[in-house]
Chain A
């Protein structure tokens, strides 16, 4: 999510310009929406805390559901194989 740019150029302008590391690094900062070479504000840091923990919980939650689904599918197949015997 791009919140603000630190320069007046757009990302594509920087890409179109000559290959140089400074442009690439500025682009990196612009793409992430944060200036990596400055401390985050306390509000930004708190936001990152919240989003980060939420993201981890969401991914883990989805994985838990996937594992339950896999285990359930495995049990059904086992029962089916036993019934066929």
Chain B
């Protein structure tokens, strides 16, 4: 047995690429631990990247554990769907249901997805990959994985890294875009909040209605929307507290552990280290920027017709990065005027972004799957 064979393989071209992937894996781990950027995903992805890029790694290949898990849960889109049950169980749609008109900003903030599709097309990506890359703008990991796997994109690894990294970078990406598109006067607009009560019946019927309506318009989205809303229904029904608790904690954590590690199957040197990967990451950034711009500009547009003005910053919270985006908007509002409390409005818009992003992902699938 040549025990140094694997070491000498590091000095080949492929070996060199694998060393670069080790560095990328290490960077993801450092970002997760030191900067606390989405540690639940970036750390397993980083470590998985190292696992799959060791020469002749036993973790990949037909009987490799990572590849078996990948085929079991990612290739058939199962893991992201199960994770969505947990995410649905975590979401409280109360603030949104008490002020439903704010949901429109969730729609406006999906603008970046379709702009990213256009940019990816300009860059020469085929439809399958352009659509998958565009869904980075959904700012939602499970949706990104689900769409890219359904469309059989070659860039799932890069898409995942981009999606989760930018979600963690929302506090860095959104403020400059918002400041560029708004005036100080607009940022000072106060929005009074009065909590309207929402009946339990409304909270129970909402996930059912969302599933039926979204499913009728975009049948390809039924699994995505349905699993998210099923999780929410478990939460809101009031008779399944144990299941809700399990979905929010044990189930979500279990799938997150497996998801991060197995997505690394797509982080192999030969498929990840291409010039196109850099393009994917740049287009993903454009998606987030245009998501933010879409929400802000739509709010400014509505203000032309409204007597009770909307603070345009609240529009930017429609990106699906929950609850990060709503906190960013609230902080920006407080910085301009410490008596301006935008949090509840931003939270309502932020949760609507969760629904809208899944619907947008479903639209993409409806066009192409």
Partners in one complex: yes
Q: Which residues of A from 51 to 75 have beta carbons under 8 Å from B?
A: 51-53, 55-64, 66-68, 70-71, 73-74
B contact residues around A37 at 8 Å (CB): 126-128
* CB-based contact B127/A40 at 8 Å: yes
**Shortest beta-carbon distance, B360 to chain A, in Å?**
5
A contact residues around B359 at 8 Å (CB): 55-56, 59-60
Q: State the main secondary structure of chain B at its contact with A.
A: helix
B contact residues around A32 at 8 Å (CB): 367-369
A contact residues around B106 at 8 Å (CB): 60
Q: State the main secondary structure of chain A at its contact with B.
A: helix
Q: Which residues of A from 26 to 82 have beta carbons under 8 Å from B?
A: 28, 32, 34-40, 42, 44-46, 48-49, 51-53, 55-64, 66-68, 70-71, 73-74, 77-78
Most buried by A among B103, B107, B214: B107
* CB-based contact A56/B107 at 8 Å: yes
A contact residues around B209 at 8 Å (CB): 63, 66, 70
- The count of A-to-B residue pairs whose CB atoms sit within 8 angstroms is 128
* CB-based contact B363/A39 at 8 Å: no
**Shortest beta-carbon distance, A41 to chain B, in Å?**
8
Interface status of B272 (Cβ within 8 A of chain A): no
Tell me the complex Cα distance, A67–B368, Å: 30
We find that the number of chain A residues with CB closer than 8 angstroms to chain B is 37
* CB-based contact B121/A40 at 8 Å: yes
A contact residues around B100 at 8 Å (CB): 63-64, 67-68, 71
Tell me the complex Cα distance, A22–B284, Å: 31
A contact residues around B366 at 8 Å (CB): 55
Interface status of B104 (Cβ within 8 A of chain A): yes
> Contacting B121 at CB < 8 Å: which of A42, A59, A68, A74?
A42
B contact residues around A61 at 8 Å (CB): 104, 107
* CB-based contact A45/B121 at 8 Å: yes
**Shortest beta-carbon distance, A77 to chain B, in Å?**
8
Interface residues of A (CB under 8 A from B): 28, 32, 34-40, 42, 44-46, 48-49, 51-53, 55-64, 66-68, 70-71, 73-74, 77-78
28 A-B pairs with CB atoms under 8 Å apart are A32-B368, A36-B126, A36-B151, A37-B127, A37-B128, A38-B126, A39-B126, A45-B122, A46-B118, A49-B118, A52-B113, A52-B367, A53-B114, A55-B363, A56-B107, A59-B217, A59-B218, A60-B103, A63-B100, A63-B210, A64-B100, A64-B104, A67-B206, A70-B209, A71-B97, A71-B199, A73-B201, A74-B202
Query: Besides the contacts A35-B127, A38-B126, A49-B114, what 6 more A-B pairs have beta carbons closer than 8 Å?
Result: A39-B125, A55-B363, A59-B107, A70-B209, A71-B100, A78-B199
